[in-house]
Amino acid sequence: MFKKIAFLLFLCCAFILLPMTIPAAAAATPKPVIIDSDMTTDDFMATLYLLNDPNVSVKAITVTGTGWAYCDGGVEAALGLLALTNHTDIPVSCWRETPLLGDYNPVPGEYRTSPDSLKAYNLPAGGTASDMDAVKLFTSTVQAATDKITVLALGPLTNIAQAFETTPALIDKIDMIYIMGGAVDVPGSAVSDTNKSAEWNIYCDPYAARLVFESGAPITLISLDASNDVPITMDFLSKLQAEAKTPSAKMAATILQNSTGFIQSGGYYFWDPLAAAVLADPTLVTLTKRSVDVVDTPGADYGRTKPVGNGPQILVATKPDGKVFEQGLIDTWNAGS
């Protein structure tokens, strides 16, 4: 009995003397983030990832109507995702549906997010859009931030380019822009019969992309060079369906369940979710400094993210750790709402 009491006293004393530790996630100041997105299904999953990451504080969602969403559908989707995750205080707005300069290369209309297309996902009704357009919302959010802002760009760079052109001082308050877009050393998205080098997010507004690349803002590019290594599979969907516990995880499962034909075709990849995950943890990929510019003159390479000898210096992501990334998606979707 004496030995037992002595052992318990030892444990109590040891506990008192040990320094208290706080989990890193709780101790860290959340990273302020703006999501600039064209709000299609992989954008939904990426947005849900950041909204449920305790180390991220989303300050605004600016919708770009030049890509895979019309403005009204994109805004409605963003507001619905915020309602789903109980983040209804985050402002949302769109600006325009045409590029800053040049001919418009729109995504085929039947694939674009619209209010009608959203019925398949049964998102909750959200609030109302901000009175400010997306460019003004982006600008005011950066200016109001006490710390540098991180940007996740998931669509054409129309909003960001216009904000930088109108208010160049914003660039000094950007910590990093994580851009899902482009194809540096791999083929593009076959955006047309003649163009095999461009990727859609860049192709929809090449001039805007070139302005952002050449702005001097720090950029990490999560291009097809990285996302080609993380296809969405039926095995992943089965695992997600088995482990989904929260509305966010269940919504991600619904999105993928509605896209089983696309998954089975082998053409659906974790494009935007990978970019969100790299923003949260850059060690998921190999980052290499490259000199890359955007071709914004019409021709077979229109919209290409082209390696050059003396162009803007950016970080290009490759070689994602697929297993860690996939489990991290599920864990993070299950971490919040």
What are 281-315's pLDDT values in tens digits? 999 999 999 999 999 999 999 999 999 999 899 99
Average pLDDT, the chain: 91
Average pLDDT of 251-263? 97
Average pLDDT of 55-72? 97
Query: Residue 190: what pLDDT?
Result: 86
Residue 12 pLDDT greater than 50, yes or no: no
Residues 6+ apart with CB under 8 A from 246: 52, 333, 334, 335, 336, 337
Q: How many domains does the chain have?
A: 1
Higher pLDDT, 336 or 236: 236
Average pLDDT of 330-336? 95
In a domain, 98, yes or no: yes
Query: Residue 320: what pLDDT?
Result: 98
In a domain, 8, yes or no: no
**315, HSE (Cβ side, Cα atoms, 13 Å):** 17
Average pLDDT of 191-207? 95
In a domain, 253, yes or no: no
Residue 258 pLDDT greater than 60, yes or no: yes
In a domain, 54, yes or no: yes
Whether residue 337 contacts residue 54, with contact meaning beta carbons closer than 8 Å, is answered with no
Average pLDDT of 166-178? 98
Query: Residue 28: what pLDDT?
Result: 66
Query: What domain range is 53 assigned to?
Result: 27-230+270-316
Residue 4 pLDDT greater than 80, yes or no: no
Give the pair of three-digit tokens for residue 160: 């960001």
Query: Residue 325: what pLDDT?
Result: 98
Average pLDDT of 63-82? 97
Average pLDDT of 12-30? 44
Residue 253 pLDDT greater than 50, yes or no: yes
Residue of 124, 149, 183, 134 lying closest to 303 (CA atoms): 183
Stated pTM of the model = 0.91
Residues 6+ apart with CB under 8 A from 160: 36, 138, 151, 153, 177, 208, 212
Average pLDDT of 44-73? 97
Average pLDDT of 116-141? 96
Q: How confident is the model at residue 9 (pLDDT cuts 50, 70, 90)?
A: very low
In a domain, 308, yes or no: yes
Average pLDDT of 146-170? 98
* CATH number of the domain encompassing residue 190: 3.90.245.10
In a domain, 112, yes or no: yes
What are 91-126's pLDDT values in tens digits? 999 999 999 998 787 888 888 999 999 999 999 999
In a domain, 265, yes or no: no
Higher pLDDT, 218 or 22: 218
In a domain, 3, yes or no: no
CB atoms within 10 A of CB 101: 13
